[in-house]
Structure 1
């Protein structure tokens, strides 16, 4: 409960990493969003993958639980659809 003073570790002043896509299907981003349900205290979880270049949604799924396993399965399906497509989503 006492004040600890200054931190011993020096401040890190580094360059912020950014990623740039030069074309479609090069760089994807993902997000998990909470969606309220009709039942108080219950939520649904929207897993979504999007293309950074053209801001299109690559794939999405609504689940009752927020799990990394669901996101991994969705990513596998998105990759299969990308490989099977002829250049169009």
Structure 2
């Protein structure tokens, strides 16, 4: 289970995410919203790529999250299947 409690993310004085909370059980999930809504920022906070400004994100040790960004510029030497395995195992 992934538990997100009152997560906020600020970039300088601009609050991108404000007190977002949810619990995600095992399954496949997606984020929907208009451009600039904070979907990518939230996902990066969950993954630990961005530190949260407020709140907490907790995951069970065995939880795994696959992440493939829209603009991917690293590991050009990997084949598509290898790249998918890399992100699925992260």
Higher alpha-carbon Rg = 1
Output the TM-score relative to the length of structure 2.
0.22
Higher relative contact order (CA 8 A, sep 6+): 2
Output the TM-score relative to the length of structure 1.
0.22
